Structure 1
Amino acid sequence: MKKIMSTIAVALTLTTGNALAAAGQWGYTGKTAPEHWGTLDPSYALCASGANQSPIDLTDFTEAELKPIKFNYTGLVTEVAHNDHAIQAKYTAGSTITVNGQVFALKQINFHAPSENLVNGGQLPIEAHFIHTDTDGNLAIIAVMYTLGNENTELKKIWQQMPAEKGKKASMTSQVRADHLLPNNKDYYRVNGSLTTPPCTEGVLWMVMKNPVPVSEGQIKKLVKILKHPNNRSVQPVNSRLVLQ
Structure 2
Amino acid sequence: MKAKNLVAVVLSLFAPFTLAKPSTHWSYEGQGSPEHWGDLNASWEMCKNGQFQSPIDIRQPVNGNLPALEINLHTKSQSIVNNGHTVQIVVDDDDDFMLDNQAYHLKQFHFHTPSENRIEGQTFPLEAHFVHANQNGELAVVAVMFTEGAENPAITAILNNLPAKLNDVKALQKPLNLSALFPADKHYYRYSGSLTTPPCSEGVTWLVMRNNVTLSPSQLSMFVNALKHANNRPLQPLHGRIIVE
- Specify the TM-score bucket, using the shorter chain as the normaliser: over 0.9
Aligned pair count reads 242
SS in 1 for 2:85: coil
Q: Structure 1 residues 18, 240: CA separation in 2 closer, same or farther (over 3 Å shift)?
A: farther
Whichever residue aligns with residue 99 of structure 1, its letter is L
Give 2:42's aligned residue.
Answer: 42
Name the % identity: 38
Per the TM alignment, residue 4 of structure 1 is displaced from its structure 2 partner at its CA by 4.9
Q: Which residue of 2 aligns with 1:235?
A: 235
Any idea what the Cα deviations from partners look like across 1:150-206, whole Å, max 9, x if unmatched?
Answer: 111121011101124321122223331323310111111001000000000101000
Shift of 1:76: 3.7
- Relative to structure 2, which stretch is displaced further, 76-85 or 5-14? 5-14
| Structure 2 counterpart of 1:28 | 28
Maintained 8 Å contact 2:190/2:207 = yes
Segments of structure 1 that go 5 or more residues without pairing to the other structure are none
Residue type of the alignment partner of 1:136: N
Aligned to 1:100: 100
Matches within 5 A, 1:111-190: 111-190=111-190
Contact 2:16 2:168 in 1 (8 A): no
Q: Which residue in the other structure is 1:207 paired with?
A: 207
Q: Deviations over 1:188-236 (max 9, x none)?
A: 1001000000000101000000111010000000000010000110110
Cα shift at 1:78: 1.6
| Alpha-carbon offset, residue 66 of structure 1 | 1.0
Q: In the aligned structure 2, how far is the partner of 1:186 from the partner of 1:177?
A: 17
The question of whether the paired residues in 2 share the 8 Å contact of 1:67 and 1:99 is answered with no
Q: Which residue of 1 aligns with 2:11?
A: 12
Q: Which amino acid aligns with 1:200?
A: C
| Root mean square deviation of aligned Cα | 1.8
Contact 2:82–2:166, Cα closer than 8 Å, also in 1: yes
220 and 243 in structure 1: CA distance in 2 versus 1, 3 angstrom threshold: same
* TM, length-normalised to structure 2: 0.93
TM-score by length of 1: 0.93
Q: Secondary structure at the match of 1:220?
A: helix
Q: Aligned equivalents of 1:52 and 1:203: distance in 2? A: 8
**5+ residue gaps in structure 2?**
none
CA contact (8 A) 2:3 2:203 kept: no
1:128/1:143 contact within 8 Å kept: yes
Letter of the structure 2 residue corresponding to residue 166 of structure 1: L
